[in-house]
Each structure stands twice: as C-alpha cells, then as structure tokens.
Structure 1
C-alpha cells in the first residue's frame, strides 16, 4: 500500500509538472531579420534560399511576418514557380535572313533588310554566299505572345557549335541574351539533337544569331510561345536561383543515382553534369515526397558531354513544371554503359516566391519559418494591397537571429488560472496520500487479510 501511494504521488507530480512546463509549439522555428528600404505601408521581398531550406511546408505555409511587438502582420505569397504555362506552348515558323559575320564588323555591318509598316522584315540585298555567312537575323515581329524558345532546325547531317544571341526592338540597339550551344550528331540508331535556344519569356522583335564556331545550314526556324496571360506571375523579372543538390549517392540498382533537395524548393530545372567526357546516355528523372511514396516520372532526356572544337558540349538542364518533392533519383539506361565510372553532379533551379506584407506596428520586423504545425495564413495580393496606387518598397531577408533575440516581451499570464487549479489539485492529492500514510502508521503497518 505504501509503495502504491508513493507511485501515485510520483505520477501526479510528473503529470502536473509536464502540464505546467509544456514546450512552446514554435521552439523549433527559425527567425530572420528584415531590412526595409525607407518608410512605407507595404514591402515586398524575394524569398531567399535559406528560408526555403528552413521551411517544413511544401507551400511555405509555415512562413510568418512579425513586428517589433512580436505581433503577426498580414502578408501575401505569390510564387512565380507556377511559371510553367497552364496551356501547352505553341510553335510557329519565322523568317530569317543570312548575314556576314558580326564579329568581323564589330556589329556595325549592314543588315541588308528593310522594315515594313507592320514591323516585319524584307530582304533588301542579295543573300551572301555560304562562305561569307557568319550570322542570321531572325524576324519575331509577328510572334504572338511571350517567347519561350527559338528552335533552330539544323539541315546539316552533323553539327556542333556555339551561338551568341542578341535581341533588339529597332535593329540599332542590341542587348546580349548570352551564348548557348547547338548540337546534331548521330549515336547508334538515335539522332542526338540540341536545337533549342531558351528565351525565358522575353519579347524582342528581332534576334541576331552570331555563329561562333561556323554557321550551320538551317532547314527552318520555329518560335515557341505562350499566351501572355498563361502565367500567374511574370518570371522574366525574377531570376532563377540555383544550388547544388544534397547527398548525391549511388542507388541499389546499376544506373540509379539518388539525391535530395533539403528544402521546399519549387524545382523546375535540374542540371545534370556527367562524370566523364564523351558520354551519351538516356536517363529518366523521378521524384517523390518521402520514402513511403512511389516514384513518379518528371522528365526524360538524352544526357551528353562531348568534346568539340569549340570546347565541351553539355546537355541543357531538364525542364518541367514546378515540383516541391524533396527526394529525387536519376535512372539511367545501362544498355550502352550508362555514365561509366564516377557519379554525376546535380544542381536544382527554381523561381523564388515574392512575399508582400503590411508594415503594421513598430520595427524591427522579422520573418519566422520552420514550424511544421502551421498552415498558410497568406492572403491574396489583391486583397492585401488597398487604397489608391499603394507604394510597395523592397525588403530583404537578413541574418538568422539567435533564440534570445526573438524572445517576446513578457505578456499577461493567461494560463495562471489553469496553473492554480493544477497545483491546487496536486496539494489535495498529496494531503490525501499523507492521511493514508498516517493511518497506516497508526495501525502498526500493512493490514492483514482477515482469513490469516
């Protein structure tokens, strides 16, 4: 009986202590300082990589904004990662005009075209001989929508070379869109073709293609477009972010490579660099949310790394709709040897979300993330921005804050009545146990059964 009473007392003490000292639901969350530009009612920031890494919700639903009094403030979250068109892109042929080499004339050679009333181009001089051709002028004035890519269909049986791409709206002022590589080569029964020049939603009227390793014969050129209202957010103004994938490792089967993203990134590009030069292999990219979910196909492509006169040619990043899964794998067709020895280097790319909030209350403002129990409390941007042409100023996510720096000021103890009741019950329980112990001591020990 004494032992039973002691156990009961310990159990009561443990349960009441646990109830009184329950941990905070946000004890595992992280806070970041926010740097605000000037003074305004609204601020907008681009969600940086550390916030994605700290998030425990695929939709950033655990993100919160706090003011200096540790009060929540309203915010909206717009993810341009929904950048993949809701409708399939369309393709249309475009006209192009051969040019002499751009580099030989410092970009000042006559283009040999005239501009029609509708902005379309017409040839004004004879086409230069193939030996004198080093560039091409592409007319996009009739393209309808935002431009996804230019598809240059090479007429040669085999071609490998680089091309510099410049854009213009008036044929006088040109801006560089960078360099890329085109490839057409036979491999067994397959033809390996890389003919796509990504334009990332830009809308120039004209493109100039400067062939850095010799101009190929061109069979035709198509432009790939999507309607301007097919994207929820314009991604051209939101640069894609990149980071190396985490924990790349060989799987249990030959030709299987596993990696993780370690964050809630809305991945829409995966760059796979092969371990050895002069490698061509077909592979499928798959993903899943966790170890219990089945793998699902995300993209398939012929991956390559080939040496050429202009340097190495590598496959373009794999493109697909935004995917927030954290577990990924590459499955390689091993019939031609796969990747050989070594393992690939993998990088993931995504368009970061834009977060807009109301600067209610006094600074400093902070961003909290990492509490998996929270659901999203974001409102639409249209509902958040009210008034006549509200000014939205930029904000930036700063350094991670230590726990001591984010502890809120002492507030009213709303749990005091509950705590008093619990401790009162504990005192009564101890008193009852004391009475039982006193009676047992007075009776001279444990009572005996009457049958003894």
Structure 2
C-alpha cells in the first residue's frame, strides 16, 4: 500500500516539474550546416542563405547558433541590412540632342552638335526627321557640375502610347563609349489613367555625356530630367548586400474571384515582390496583404497596377512591388476583377529580401557548424561592436556548406509544429499512472476485506453448531428416562429440552 502511494506521488511530481520547465529542447535544432573557412583568423562572417531562413522557427532568427567541434556555442552577432542614408535627390532638366544614325567608325563630335571650350554641347543643325532619328545625346556634365552622380534619367514621352527598349552608353570625350545599362520605357492609357515607366536607372554613374539608342523606334521626347545625387552622400545602398530571391512560388486561387494565396515557406524579411501574370496584355489593379498566422488579421502591405504588355518582340511587366521588410509567411493578393482580373492561368510570385550577416568568434577547435530551427530557443546574439571589442582584425568571409544530418532534427521539427504536444502526452501519461495507482489501491483494499468477512461468517456458524449439540444431548437424556419408566415416548425440542428433562426425571421417580 505504501509503495503504491509513493510511486504515484513521484509520477505526479516529475510530470509537474517537467511541464513547468520551459524549453526542454533548447539545444535541439532542425537543421545544421557546416561552416567552411581557412583557419587562422579570430573572426569570421557569413551571409545567411535562403536555407537558413527556411529552417528557422523564429521571425528574428533567434534560433541561430554557432557551435565548435566540441559542441560548445561560440559568441556571434547578427546584423540585418539597413536602408542607406542618402541626401534627397533632385531632378534637373537635361539638355539633349536628337541625332541621326551615326556613320560606322566615325569619331569626334556627332553630326549636328559641336563641343564648346568648356565641354558643353551646342546644336549646329536642325534635328533629323523622326524616321531617321534613333539616338539622343545628353550633356549631363552641365547638370551635375562635375561633382555629382546621376542616379537615373526620367524621359517624358509625349506619345499617348509607346513601348520600347533603350540602351545607354556613357563617355567623357565622345569617342570612347562604355555600356551603362538598358531599360524599357512604357506609356499606355488605360481606363482613364496612364501607365508609365519613364525611368532609366544609372546607379550613380559619373560621366560627362550619355547616349541613348532606341532599339524599337524613337519616341517623341518632350523633356528629359537627370536625377542627381549630391556628392558626398552615403552610397552604401549601392554597395549593399545583394538581394536574394525565392522564385517559383505558386499562388493558389481563393474562394472569391480575384483572390490568390501563397506561402513564402520561411521567415524571409521580404521587401520586394514580383507578381508574374499568367497572360500577356493584362492590366489589373491589385492589393497585397500578409499575416503572421491563421488567427491573425490581414494587413495591407502594398498596392499597384499590375500589367504585362506584349508589343511585337517587346514585353513589359510592372516593376517589383516595394514594401518594408516583412517576415510573415502567409500572403494574399486581391485583384480588381471588374475588367476580367488576371484571366486563366497560374499566378507565380518571386519574393526578394536582403539577407543578414552573421559574425562569430572562432573559439575552440574545428569543425564549426551553424544550427537553426528551434521554437524554444531565444536569441543569444550580441552586437557587432561588443563582439569585436575594438579588435584590429577584420572578419574573414566564411562559406556555408552542405546541410548535416541531426539525430534530433525530426523531434525538433515535430516540436516546432506543436511545441505543447509532448507536454500534453506527459500529462496524459501521468494521469493514467495516477488512475492506475488508485485502481491498484482499491483492489488491494477489496482483496484484504475478503478474509476478514470469511472469518466473521465462520465464527457465527460455529456458535450455532455448539448450541445444536447441547440441545441434542439434553434430548438423549430425556429419552433414556422415558424408556426406563415404560411410559409413552415424549418428543422434546431443543428450546424445551431443559424442561422436558426435568419432567422426565419426575416421572421416573413416580
């Protein structure tokens, strides 16, 4: 009895302690990756690829850890890219000169312009006919004053509808030209509004002259503005970490017309979305929403007019949608269906983000591994300044190797999906043990009660037998007395045996 009670008490106590202990598997991770680098440095840094975000169970990458060969965690910092601070850009009108097709091998100033002593350009003849016009020469030195960079050109097209490609070249002397990029310009009137792509990105190029080659026919240009970034502004954005993309995400149709749902498959800090429309010559306004989970409310993160227009060999689509970094996994696109929506076909999505950089101290022996994927883990990252502590050494670039098998990965993934499942199982186990123990106690009590009841029943039966025996003896004595006297037989009962015996004795004497 006492042993059963002791076992039950220990079961309940252990289950209570286990359930009240948070994060029992903080050192178990769903995925591990090898860190590859050349030894000899104190600090190493690695840009986190998409696989790390996909395995992470936290939106802030708080479950990332770095372990050395002995399985010891080492200090690390986690730095997310920041938007570069930059001075406000200004638009300045640029001087441009329509030119006819240049003769092959020609050098010096193009036909129709001359170079002044200060390097500025002046027109020397009337612009060519539109049929012969395929090039525009832009004098940007005057607008930039030699101390600024041109981020973009904004081309204002007078045509109501235009769609075409343009290539850009730059030069400082009108003789040597270098490629400066390509772009597609668009101007389309739609449903009382105008869709336009009028920017040619140049990414802060510094040059005196720019040349535009119109590959699909020159538009009627009304004006050209140069977007100038002041000298000395922070250009960190241009040297920023390259954006990662996860393409091929299929959006499934929702219960309502014009609704599409998709899951990014990880806690990516998405700040760009490319929505690839299924059919060409499609134009439709749309809004994009995201949420953290099934119980959360949808919130709008971006909106734009989506389009995919095909014109001969030229096809243009709306630029990527921009938004603040968003780690939500569930997304919804709502398209205006008043003009047919997106039509038939599958909407596919590409999600882009700027990955974080992890810097760690190479403490201990190799091999070093990066672990990720634990819903119960809490971030232990320190700031980069605290990690480096003013050290003169520079962090050497490391590489993330192949994923490694983790013997506890499956358990970690199941706990990540339902972190309270194991606790529920333990509670049910403790409850069953307690019920079983109580049943055993009841059975022991019932079993012990049976011998006591039997003993009491036997005592009662024995007493009754003794009483019967005494009565029989008294009856026999009475019979002997009756026989001796030769009288008639007398029937004697047990309760009257004493009386009958006395009477018999009296009769005999007479």
Check whether TM > 0.5: yes
Distance 1:46 1:145, change over 3 A: farther
Does the 8 Å contact 2:153/2:201 carry over to 1? Answer: yes
Structure 2 SS opposite 1:383: helix
Correspondence list, 1:215-294, <5 A: 215-224=218-227, 234=237, 236-244=239-247, 246-294=249-297
Does the 8 Å contact 1:143/1:223 carry over to 2? Answer: no
Q: Does 1:74 align with 2:72?
A: no
Q: Does 1:346 align with 2:349?
A: yes
Q: Which residue of 2 aligns with 1:299?
A: 302
Q: Which residue of 2 aligns with 1:134?
A: 135
Q: Distance in 1 between matches of 2:87 and 2:264?
A: 27
Structure 1 SS opposite 2:255: coil
- Bigger shift: 57-66 or 265-274? 57-66
Correspondence list, 1:25-64, <5 A: 25-64=26-65
Higher relative helix content: 2
Give CA deviations for 1:89-109 in whole Å, capped at 9, x if unaligned: 544224243364799758977
Distance 1:384 1:308, change over 3 A: same
Does the 8 Å contact 1:97/1:123 carry over to 2? Answer: no
Q: CA RMSD in A?
A: 4.3
In structure 2, list runs of 5 or more residues that go unmatched: 410-438, 455-510
Q: Distance in 1 between matches of 2:374 and 2:171?
A: 48
Q: Distance in 1 between matches of 2:75 and 2:128?
A: 64
Give CA deviations for 1:186-226 in whole Å, capped at 9, x if unaligned: 12312111113345x54534654332212223233345577
Q: Which residue of 2 aligns with 1:92?
A: 91
Does the 8 Å contact 1:306/1:314 carry over to 2? Answer: yes
Q: Distance in 2 between matches of 1:320 and 1:302?
A: 15
Distance 1:123 1:167, change over 3 A: closer
Correspondence list, 1:143-182, <5 A: 149-166=152-169, 176=179, 178-182=181-185
Q: Distance in 2 between matches of 1:255 and 1:196?
A: 30
Give CA deviations for 1:330-349 in whole Å, capped at 9, x if unaligned: 11111111111123111111
Q: Which residue of 2 aligns with 1:399?
A: 402
Q: Distance in 1 between matches of 2:16 and 2:5?
A: 16
Correspondence list, 1:377-388, <5 A: 377-387=380-390
In structure 1, list runs of 5 or more residues that go unmatched: 407-432
Distance 1:303 1:443, change over 3 A: closer
Q: Does 1:334 align with 2:333?
A: no
Does the 8 Å contact 1:141/1:205 carry over to 2? Answer: no
Q: CA deviation at 1:54?
A: 0.9
Distance 1:300 1:355, change over 3 A: same
Distance 1:141 1:91, change over 3 A: closer
Structure 1 SS opposite 2:338: helix
Q: CA deviation at 1:295?
A: 1.9
> Which of residues 362, 365, 372 in structure 2 aligns to 1:362?
365
Q: Distance in 2 between matches of 1:279 and 1:123?
A: 43
What TM-score comes out, normalization by structure 1 length? 0.77
Distance 1:269 1:191, change over 3 A: same
Q: CA deviation at 1:363?
A: 1.2
Distance 1:150 1:55, change over 3 A: farther
Q: CA deviation at 1:300?
A: 1.7
Q: Distance in 2 between matches of 1:351 and 1:228?
A: 26
What TM-score comes out, normalization by structure 2 length? 0.69
- Whose relative contact order is higher, 1 or 2, with alpha carbons under 8 Å and at least 6 apart? 1
Distance 1:192 1:319, change over 3 A: same
Q: Distance in 2 between matches of 1:182 and 1:360?
A: 54
Does the 8 Å contact 1:30/1:400 carry over to 2? Answer: yes
Distance 1:310 1:63, change over 3 A: same
